[in-house]
Amino acid sequence: MIYLKKIIAYCGGDGVGPEVVEEGLKVLKVISEYTDFEFDFKEAPAGGNVYKKSGKSLPNQSFETIKNSDALLFGAVGLPDLPPGVGEVAVLQIRQKLDLYVNLRPIKLYDSLRDRCPLKDEFIGKGIDIAFVRENTEGLYANKGAVLTDETAENSMVYTRKGCERIINYAFELAKSLNHSKVTSVDKANVLNPSRLWRKIFHEIGEKYPEINKEDIYIDAFCQWLIRKPDSFQTVVTGNMFGDIISDEGAFLIGSLGMASSGNIHPGKVSMYEPIHGSAPDIAGKGIANPIGAILSVKLMMQESFHSPNIAKLIENSVEEALIEGRTIDLKNPEIKTRNTREMGDLITEKLKKNLKK
């Protein structure tokens, strides 16, 4: 048998982060038990709790571990008793240092979760299945020229041609591989220069894909279209800040912020997979967080970093099957047994073992 050896760095981070990453690791352990993959796990501590101990949110040694791994499974960072941004900077530094310019955030409403979608059937229409592609290294997040005094505060939004081209190219290629007939670009070109450049490049690149329809929507209107007609979107490409916001909106449409996964990707290089939610201080330590965003992030890792679409699909199938029998409290349904984080992870791994054996 040929073993596919991979080093997986992992970082729980703060709040519910370690609770959900634990369940993601369980899934990876099942994969190494039941398939030709062999995973070696290495912890890379980061975030607010690490800052409190060491004065650094991303210690050098943790970054070395990450850099030398094949992929990183990340939880969430940020603590309410630290100033905003102190723990969080760890995730931004990883994205910048590894040049993870793609933030892929799929939003899919499972049939088994239609009862938790806040929209009426009339608005759900044919269903919700959107690939959000968020630019992940430029814009306001690059923090160029940042100023903060008591009198003035400034962050500048810089977009480069190179930065726009690579993410928009990625989005069109993704749309092609998913057989999508349309790519939607979300911007604010009626106000912002970076959006004007972005829009120009979107159409330049779009010309190479005559079979794919191109659509521009302003961010404000998009926020209502996403609720009003979510089934009209397939691949959606947007900048860093807008992508952050609309992906949380999308996550609640599929049932809970705890459901949504993400890949921070530089194709062919070490990439980071994390649920899109944060450290959820309101439920941290209770063992009730939904681990599915983290587990579906493992699905994305198998798909994007380890090129195993079949295993990825089996993870997703296992999640869907498990949701019929058990749910965490954020997805409450009186007819379905409520499970805690661990029990939900166990239910999914049981299904996965059966699916991998078939």
Least separation in angstroms between CB 244 and ligand IPM: 4
Q: Which one of Mn ion, ligand IPM, ligand NAD, none is in contact with 296 (Cβ closer than 5 to 8 A by kind)?
A: none
26 included as an active-site residue = no
Residues that bind ligand IPM (CB under 6 A): 78, 88, 91-92, 244, 276
Longest dimension (CA), the chain: 65
In terms of Cα–Cα distance, which of 99, 67, 102 is closest to 235? 102
170 included as an active-site residue = no
- The type of residue at 164 is C
HSE-up of residue 196 (Cα within 13 Å, Cβ side): 4
User: Can residue 256 be called a binding residue for ligand NAD (CB under 6 A)?
Assistant: yes
User: Can residue 107 be called a binding residue for ligand NAD (CB under 6 A)?
Assistant: no
- Binding part of the chain for Mn ion, among 175-183, 212-220, 241-249, 285-293 by CB under 5 A, reads 241-249
115 included as an active-site residue = no
Dist. CA 327–CA 348, nearest whole Å: 11
Least separation in angstroms between CB 288 and ligand NAD: 7
Least separation in angstroms between CB 135 and ligand IPM: 11
Least separation in angstroms between CB 245 and ligand IPM: 9
220 included as an active-site residue = yes
Dist. CA 227–CA 132, nearest whole Å: 15
**Total Cβ atoms within 10 A of residue 51:** 21
**Total Cβ atoms within 10 A of residue 156:** 13
Q: Which of 283, 312, 314, 323 binds ligand NAD (CB under 6 A)?
A: 283
User: Can residue 57 be called a binding residue for ligand NAD (CB under 6 A)?
Assistant: no
Give me the numbers of helices (H) and strands (E) for the chain, helices first please.
12, 14
User: Can residue 131 be called a binding residue for ligand NAD (CB under 6 A)?
Assistant: no
Which residue matches tokens 């430029």? Answer: 138
Q: What is the DSSP letter of 305?
A: I
Partners of residue 42 on adjacent β-strands: 9
Tokens of 332: 């409450």
Q: Which of 14, 244, 304, 330 binds Mn ion (CB under 5 A)?
A: 244
244 included as an active-site residue = yes
- Is the CB of residue 82 less than 8 Å from the CB of residue 48? yes
User: Can residue 23 be called a binding residue for ligand NAD (CB under 6 A)?
Assistant: no
Q: Which one of ligand IPM, ligand NAD, Mn ion, none is in contact with 16 (Cβ closer than 5 to 8 A by kind)?
A: ligand NAD
Tokens of 288: 């009730």
- Which stretches of the chain bind ligand NAD, using CB under 6 A? 16, 20, 76-78, 88, 91, 256-258, 274, 277-283, 289-290, 293, 330
- Which stretches of the chain bind Mn ion, using CB under 5 A? 244
